[in-house]
Amino acid sequence: MLFSGKAILVKLAFGYDANAETLLALRMLMALPLFWGIFWWESRRKKMSPITWLDRGKLFFLGFLGYFLSSYIDFLGLQYISVGLERIVLYLTPTIVLLISYFVLKKPISKLQWYSLIVGYIGVFVVFIQDASSSGLSAWLGMFLVFGSACSYAAYMIGAGEMVKRIGSVRLVVYASSASAILSILQSTIHNPTAIFEQLPQIYWYSLLNASLCTVIPMLLIMIAINRIGSPLVAQAGILGPVSTIFMGYLILAEPITWTQISGMTLVIAAMWLLVRNDAPTKKSPDPKKSDDLDSTEPLN
Protein backbone atom coordinates (compact mmCIF):
# COMPACT_ATOMS: atom_id res chain seq x y z
CA MET A 1 0.00 0.00 0.00
CA LEU A 2 2.90 2.37 0.69
CA PHE A 3 4.38 1.64 -2.73
CA SER A 4 1.01 2.55 -4.23
CA GLY A 5 1.16 5.99 -2.62
CA LYS A 6 4.01 6.97 -4.94
CA ALA A 7 1.67 7.64 -7.85
CA ILE A 8 -0.61 9.75 -5.63
CA LEU A 9 2.27 11.96 -4.50
CA VAL A 10 3.57 12.39 -8.04
CA LYS A 11 0.11 13.43 -9.25
CA LEU A 12 -0.16 15.95 -6.40
CA ALA A 13 3.27 17.36 -7.28
CA PHE A 14 2.26 17.76 -10.93
CA GLY A 15 -0.51 20.02 -9.66
CA TYR A 16 2.21 22.51 -8.60
CA ASP A 17 3.77 22.50 -12.11
CA ALA A 18 6.69 20.27 -11.16
CA ASN A 19 8.22 18.19 -13.97
CA ALA A 20 9.18 14.52 -14.04
CA GLU A 21 12.93 15.21 -14.20
CA THR A 22 12.94 17.34 -11.04
CA LEU A 23 10.62 15.03 -9.11
CA LEU A 24 12.73 11.96 -9.88
CA ALA A 25 15.97 13.76 -8.93
CA LEU A 26 14.53 14.99 -5.62
CA ARG A 27 13.09 11.56 -4.80
CA MET A 28 16.40 9.74 -5.38
CA LEU A 29 18.48 12.48 -3.75
CA MET A 30 16.41 12.22 -0.56
CA ALA A 31 16.26 8.41 -0.62
CA LEU A 32 20.03 8.01 -1.09
CA PRO A 33 21.17 8.78 2.50
CA LEU A 34 18.41 6.50 3.82
CA PHE A 35 19.61 3.64 1.62
CA TRP A 36 23.22 4.13 2.69
CA GLY A 37 22.13 4.27 6.33
CA ILE A 38 20.55 0.84 5.85
CA PHE A 39 23.75 -0.38 4.16
CA TRP A 40 25.88 0.88 7.06
CA TRP A 41 23.64 -0.89 9.58
CA GLU A 42 23.67 -4.12 7.57
CA SER A 43 27.47 -4.03 7.18
CA ARG A 44 27.83 -3.77 10.96
CA ARG A 45 25.45 -6.70 11.48
CA LYS A 46 27.27 -9.12 9.18
CA LYS A 47 30.45 -9.30 7.17
CA MET A 48 30.11 -8.68 3.44
CA SER A 49 32.33 -10.07 0.72
CA PRO A 50 34.04 -7.53 -1.60
CA ILE A 51 32.41 -6.61 -4.92
CA THR A 52 34.38 -6.73 -8.17
CA TRP A 53 34.45 -3.82 -10.62
CA LEU A 54 32.57 -5.99 -13.11
CA ASP A 55 29.78 -6.42 -10.57
CA ARG A 56 29.77 -2.67 -9.93
CA GLY A 57 29.31 -2.10 -13.65
CA LYS A 58 26.41 -4.55 -13.71
CA LEU A 59 24.83 -2.88 -10.68
CA PHE A 60 25.11 0.53 -12.35
CA PHE A 61 23.32 -0.83 -15.43
CA LEU A 62 20.65 -2.45 -13.24
CA GLY A 63 20.18 0.88 -11.46
CA PHE A 64 19.72 2.54 -14.84
CA LEU A 65 17.08 -0.01 -15.90
CA GLY A 66 15.18 -0.58 -12.67
CA TYR A 67 15.31 2.70 -10.78
CA PHE A 68 16.14 5.45 -13.28
CA LEU A 69 14.65 4.59 -16.69
CA SER A 70 11.70 2.69 -15.26
CA SER A 71 10.84 5.45 -12.75
CA TYR A 72 11.36 8.29 -15.22
CA ILE A 73 9.04 7.01 -17.95
CA ASP A 74 6.53 5.99 -15.28
CA PHE A 75 6.51 9.59 -14.00
CA LEU A 76 6.03 10.79 -17.58
CA GLY A 77 3.14 8.37 -18.10
CA LEU A 78 1.37 9.57 -14.96
CA GLN A 79 0.85 12.93 -16.66
CA TYR A 80 -1.62 11.29 -19.05
CA ILE A 81 -3.45 8.49 -17.21
CA SER A 82 -5.10 7.86 -13.85
CA VAL A 83 -3.17 6.41 -10.92
CA GLY A 84 -5.48 3.37 -11.00
CA LEU A 85 -4.56 2.46 -14.58
CA GLU A 86 -0.87 3.19 -13.91
CA ARG A 87 -0.72 0.79 -10.97
CA ILE A 88 -2.62 -1.93 -12.80
CA VAL A 89 -0.28 -1.71 -15.81
CA LEU A 90 2.76 -1.84 -13.51
CA TYR A 91 1.19 -4.82 -11.78
CA LEU A 92 1.67 -6.77 -15.02
CA THR A 93 5.45 -6.76 -14.44
CA PRO A 94 5.53 -10.49 -13.47
CA THR A 95 3.82 -11.38 -16.76
CA ILE A 96 6.47 -9.42 -18.68
CA VAL A 97 9.19 -11.27 -16.74
CA LEU A 98 7.45 -14.51 -17.73
CA LEU A 99 7.32 -13.52 -21.42
CA ILE A 100 10.97 -12.41 -21.47
CA SER A 101 11.94 -15.69 -19.83
CA TYR A 102 9.96 -17.59 -22.47
CA PHE A 103 11.11 -15.77 -25.62
CA VAL A 104 14.67 -14.83 -24.59
CA LEU A 105 15.72 -17.39 -21.97
CA LYS A 106 13.64 -20.22 -23.55
CA LYS A 107 11.95 -21.16 -20.27
CA PRO A 108 8.64 -23.06 -20.61
CA ILE A 109 5.26 -21.55 -19.73
CA SER A 110 2.42 -23.77 -18.48
CA LYS A 111 -1.14 -23.62 -19.83
CA LEU A 112 -2.33 -22.02 -16.58
CA GLN A 113 0.30 -19.31 -16.96
CA TRP A 114 -0.80 -18.61 -20.55
CA TYR A 115 -4.41 -18.32 -19.40
CA SER A 116 -3.30 -15.97 -16.62
CA LEU A 117 -1.44 -13.79 -19.12
CA ILE A 118 -4.47 -13.52 -21.39
CA VAL A 119 -6.84 -12.70 -18.52
CA GLY A 120 -4.44 -10.10 -17.12
CA TYR A 121 -4.05 -8.20 -20.38
CA ILE A 122 -7.80 -8.30 -21.03
CA GLY A 123 -8.25 -6.74 -17.58
CA VAL A 124 -5.81 -3.92 -18.39
CA PHE A 125 -7.64 -3.23 -21.66
CA VAL A 126 -10.95 -3.03 -19.80
CA VAL A 127 -9.54 -0.43 -17.37
CA PHE A 128 -7.89 1.42 -20.26
CA ILE A 129 -11.29 1.90 -21.93
CA GLN A 130 -12.29 4.23 -19.09
CA ASP A 131 -9.19 6.44 -19.41
CA ALA A 132 -9.36 6.48 -23.21
CA SER A 133 -12.99 7.62 -23.14
CA SER A 134 -12.06 10.73 -21.14
CA SER A 135 -8.48 11.44 -22.27
CA GLY A 136 -8.45 10.25 -25.88
CA LEU A 137 -5.06 9.83 -27.58
CA SER A 138 -3.12 11.01 -24.52
CA ALA A 139 -4.30 7.87 -22.69
CA TRP A 140 -2.56 5.76 -25.35
CA LEU A 141 0.68 7.68 -24.80
CA GLY A 142 0.38 7.36 -21.03
CA MET A 143 -0.26 3.63 -21.11
CA PHE A 144 2.57 3.11 -23.62
CA LEU A 145 4.99 4.94 -21.31
CA VAL A 146 3.90 3.09 -18.17
CA PHE A 147 4.03 -0.26 -19.97
CA GLY A 148 7.57 0.64 -21.08
CA SER A 149 8.33 1.33 -17.41
CA ALA A 150 7.03 -2.13 -16.50
CA CYS A 151 9.20 -3.70 -19.25
CA SER A 152 12.29 -1.88 -17.99
CA TYR A 153 11.62 -3.03 -14.44
CA ALA A 154 11.01 -6.59 -15.63
CA ALA A 155 14.45 -6.60 -17.26
CA TYR A 156 15.88 -5.29 -13.98
CA MET A 157 14.19 -8.10 -12.04
CA ILE A 158 15.68 -10.76 -14.32
CA GLY A 159 19.17 -9.29 -13.96
CA ALA A 160 18.76 -8.72 -10.23
CA GLY A 161 17.63 -12.32 -9.70
CA GLU A 162 21.07 -13.56 -10.74
CA MET A 163 23.07 -10.99 -8.76
CA VAL A 164 21.09 -11.01 -5.51
CA LYS A 165 22.29 -14.56 -4.78
CA ARG A 166 25.91 -13.42 -4.83
CA ILE A 167 25.87 -9.96 -3.28
CA GLY A 168 22.61 -9.84 -1.30
CA SER A 169 19.51 -7.70 -1.74
CA VAL A 170 20.62 -4.83 0.50
CA ARG A 171 23.80 -4.10 -1.45
CA LEU A 172 21.98 -4.58 -4.74
CA VAL A 173 19.31 -2.03 -3.82
CA VAL A 174 21.83 0.46 -2.38
CA TYR A 175 24.22 0.34 -5.34
CA ALA A 176 21.43 0.35 -7.94
CA SER A 177 19.65 3.26 -6.24
CA SER A 178 22.93 5.17 -6.02
CA ALA A 179 23.40 4.76 -9.77
CA SER A 180 19.85 5.98 -10.31
CA ALA A 181 20.44 9.01 -8.07
CA ILE A 182 23.56 10.00 -10.04
CA LEU A 183 21.73 9.63 -13.37
CA SER A 184 18.59 11.45 -12.25
CA ILE A 185 20.54 14.39 -10.78
CA LEU A 186 22.63 14.58 -13.96
CA GLN A 187 19.49 14.56 -16.09
CA SER A 188 17.81 17.25 -13.98
CA THR A 189 20.94 19.41 -14.13
CA ILE A 190 21.05 19.18 -17.92
CA HIS A 191 17.33 19.91 -18.16
CA ASN A 192 17.48 22.85 -15.72
CA PRO A 193 20.63 23.34 -13.57
CA THR A 194 18.80 25.14 -10.75
CA ALA A 195 15.42 23.36 -10.78
CA ILE A 196 15.97 21.22 -7.68
CA PHE A 197 16.71 24.38 -5.64
CA GLU A 198 13.76 26.45 -6.89
CA GLN A 199 10.70 24.33 -6.06
CA LEU A 200 7.78 25.23 -3.82
CA PRO A 201 7.88 23.87 -0.25
CA GLN A 202 5.05 21.45 -1.10
CA ILE A 203 7.24 19.77 -3.75
CA TYR A 204 10.02 19.12 -1.24
CA TRP A 205 7.55 17.66 1.25
CA TYR A 206 5.98 15.40 -1.39
CA SER A 207 9.45 14.28 -2.50
CA LEU A 208 10.49 13.51 1.07
CA LEU A 209 7.35 11.44 1.63
CA ASN A 210 7.93 9.71 -1.70
CA ALA A 211 11.54 8.90 -0.83
CA SER A 212 10.87 7.66 2.70
CA LEU A 213 7.28 6.47 3.08
CA CYS A 214 6.76 5.20 -0.48
CA THR A 215 10.26 3.97 -1.41
CA VAL A 216 12.70 3.08 1.38
CA ILE A 217 10.28 1.96 4.10
CA PRO A 218 8.22 -0.42 1.90
CA MET A 219 11.45 -1.92 0.51
CA LEU A 220 12.54 -2.68 4.06
CA LEU A 221 9.14 -4.12 4.93
CA ILE A 222 9.24 -6.42 1.90
CA MET A 223 12.70 -7.72 2.79
CA ILE A 224 11.65 -8.35 6.40
CA ALA A 225 8.44 -10.04 5.25
CA ILE A 226 10.28 -12.32 2.80
CA ASN A 227 12.64 -13.38 5.57
CA ARG A 228 9.67 -14.26 7.79
CA ILE A 229 7.07 -15.80 5.45
CA GLY A 230 8.79 -16.32 2.07
CA SER A 231 8.38 -14.80 -1.39
CA PRO A 232 5.14 -16.59 -2.45
CA LEU A 233 3.09 -15.24 0.46
CA VAL A 234 4.61 -11.78 0.07
CA ALA A 235 3.68 -11.82 -3.62
CA GLN A 236 0.10 -12.78 -2.74
CA ALA A 237 -0.10 -9.92 -0.22
CA GLY A 238 1.07 -7.58 -3.00
CA ILE A 239 -2.31 -8.12 -4.68
CA LEU A 240 -3.57 -5.31 -2.41
CA GLY A 241 -1.47 -2.82 -4.39
CA PRO A 242 -3.85 -1.92 -7.26
CA VAL A 243 -6.87 -1.95 -4.93
CA SER A 244 -5.28 0.53 -2.52
CA THR A 245 -4.15 2.78 -5.40
CA ILE A 246 -7.64 3.02 -6.90
CA PHE A 247 -9.23 3.89 -3.56
CA MET A 248 -6.49 6.38 -2.65
CA GLY A 249 -6.97 7.97 -6.07
CA TYR A 250 -10.67 8.32 -5.29
CA LEU A 251 -10.17 9.74 -1.78
CA ILE A 252 -7.22 12.06 -2.45
CA LEU A 253 -7.35 12.92 -6.16
CA ALA A 254 -11.11 12.60 -6.67
CA GLU A 255 -10.56 10.11 -9.50
CA PRO A 256 -13.84 8.26 -10.20
CA ILE A 257 -14.30 4.57 -9.42
CA THR A 258 -16.50 2.84 -12.01
CA TRP A 259 -17.72 -0.68 -12.54
CA THR A 260 -15.57 -0.84 -15.69
CA GLN A 261 -12.47 -0.09 -13.61
CA ILE A 262 -13.43 -2.57 -10.88
CA SER A 263 -14.11 -5.29 -13.47
CA GLY A 264 -10.75 -4.80 -15.17
CA MET A 265 -8.92 -4.64 -11.84
CA THR A 266 -10.60 -7.88 -10.74
CA LEU A 267 -9.42 -9.64 -13.92
CA VAL A 268 -5.84 -8.41 -13.45
CA ILE A 269 -5.74 -9.38 -9.77
CA ALA A 270 -7.20 -12.82 -10.56
CA ALA A 271 -4.56 -13.34 -13.25
CA MET A 272 -1.70 -12.34 -10.93
CA TRP A 273 -3.12 -14.55 -8.16
CA LEU A 274 -3.16 -17.52 -10.54
CA LEU A 275 0.46 -16.85 -11.52
CA VAL A 276 1.55 -16.62 -7.89
CA ARG A 277 -0.41 -19.74 -6.90
CA ASN A 278 1.05 -21.65 -9.84
CA ASP A 279 4.56 -20.67 -8.80
CA ALA A 280 4.20 -21.01 -5.03
CA PRO A 281 4.42 -24.83 -4.68
CA THR A 282 7.77 -24.89 -6.47
CA LYS A 283 9.38 -22.47 -4.02
CA LYS A 284 10.53 -23.21 -0.52
CA SER A 285 10.07 -20.66 2.20
CA PRO A 286 13.47 -19.18 2.94
CA ASP A 287 15.33 -19.66 6.17
CA PRO A 288 14.95 -16.41 8.13
CA LYS A 289 18.61 -16.60 9.12
CA LYS A 290 19.90 -17.12 5.59
CA SER A 291 17.53 -15.44 3.21
CA ASP A 292 18.46 -12.11 1.67
CA ASP A 293 16.11 -12.29 -1.26
CA LEU A 294 14.15 -9.43 -2.77
CA ASP A 295 11.22 -10.65 -4.81
CA SER A 296 7.72 -9.24 -5.12
CA THR A 297 4.98 -8.68 -7.65
CA GLU A 298 4.90 -5.07 -6.45
CA PRO A 299 7.15 -2.92 -8.64
CA LEU A 300 9.59 -0.76 -6.70
CA ASN A 301 9.50 2.14 -9.11
Name every residue whose Cβ is closer than 8 Å to that of residue 114 and which is 6 or more positions away in sequence.
none
pTM of the complete model: 0.87
List the alpha helices (DSSP H) in 3-136: 5-14, 20-45, 53-63, 70-77, 83-90, 93-103, 111-135
Q: What is the pLDDT of residues 145-167, one digit of tens each?
A: 999 999 999 999 888 887 888 88
Q: What is the pLDDT of residues 169-190, one digit of tens each?
A: 888 989 999 999 999 999 999 9
Domain of 176? 5-282
Residue 17 counted as domain residue: yes
Residue 40 counted as domain residue: yes
91/75 Cα distance (integer angstroms): 16
11/291 Cα distance (integer angstroms): 36
| pLDDT given for residue 291 in this prediction | 40
Residue 289 counted as domain residue: no
Q: Cα dihedral sign for 207, 208, 209, 213?
A: positive
Confidence of residue 294 (pLDDT cuts 50, 70, 90): very low
Instruction: Report DSSP state, residue 93.
Output: H
Query: Which range among 31-45, 236-250, 283-297 has the greatest average pLDDT?
Result: 31-45
Residue 222 counted as domain residue: yes
| pLDDT given for residue 286 in this prediction | 43
- Residue pair 126/264 in contact by the 8 Å Cβ criterion: yes
pLDDT, average across residues 239-255:
89
Domain count, the chain: 1
Dihedral angle over CA of 38, 44, 50, 52, nearest 10: 10
Residue 173 counted as domain residue: yes
* Helix, strand, coil percentages for the chain (3-state, nearest 5): 80, 0, 20
Residue 233 counted as domain residue: yes
Name every residue whose Cβ is closer than 8 Å to that of residue 203 and which is 6 or more positions away in sequence.
13, 16, 18, 22, 23, 26
159/138 Cα distance (integer angstroms): 32
